[in-house]
Amino acid sequence: MAALPSAPRQAAVSLGSNEGDRMAHLRAALEGCAAAAVGDLRVSTVYETDPVDCAPGAPLFLNAAAVFATCLEAHALLRALRVVERARGRPTVSPRNAPRPLDIDLLLLGDLRVNDAELILPHPRMFQRVFVLRPLCELAPAWVPPGGDRTLKDFLDSLPASDDVRPWKEALR
């Protein structure tokens, strides 16, 4: 059994779905995050977003972010999130960026840096993706990722303006 951190760490996750009942999948993801959370779970606005790096004709995504404290170690949290993805029908093996019922990315876990075959923290592509940073900045704009000197809001502001991320008509809560 992995050792637990001595104190809870703030986790930031990105939630996405572009297959099936997208809102139901995001709600299941939120429940999975709540099961790992200690205390309050905060969730962003839901956004409908154009697919990025997907095959032509890929369905539109619904995306959101969640921030919560957890006592789980990074790899244990990642595994817990993967269980939720599989329970919603995501195959364990599929082509990269294929349509999927649910995608939960662990973006940040406190000031932890990880780089191994299973997990990279901070998430390596989050800083180039408006569909990740816009919802996350609703919750934690002043968060400075480990090893950096810029806030999440600074990263978002440095990206080109985009119409590809639009508020969705329905909230997760």
Question: Is-contact 56 25, C-beta < 8 A?
Answer: no
Determine the Cα–Cα distance for residues 132 and 33; give it in Å rounded to an integer. 17
Question: What pLDDT digit, counting tens, does each position of 41-75 carry?
Answer: 999 999 999 988 877 888 999 999 999 999 999 99
Question: What pLDDT digit, counting tens, does each position of 149-160 carry?
Answer: 999 999 999 999
Question: Is-contact 152 133, C-beta < 8 A?
Answer: yes
Determine the Cα–Cα distance for residues 119 and 23; give it in Å rounded to an integer. 26
9-126 topology per CATH: Alpha-Beta Plaits (3.30.70)
pLDDT for the residue numbered 165? 93
Alpha carbons within 13 A on the beta-carbon side of 3: 3
Say whether pLDDT at 1 is over 60: no
Q: How does residue 95 score in pLDDT terms, banded at 50, 70 and 90?
A: low
Mean model confidence pLDDT for the chain = 93
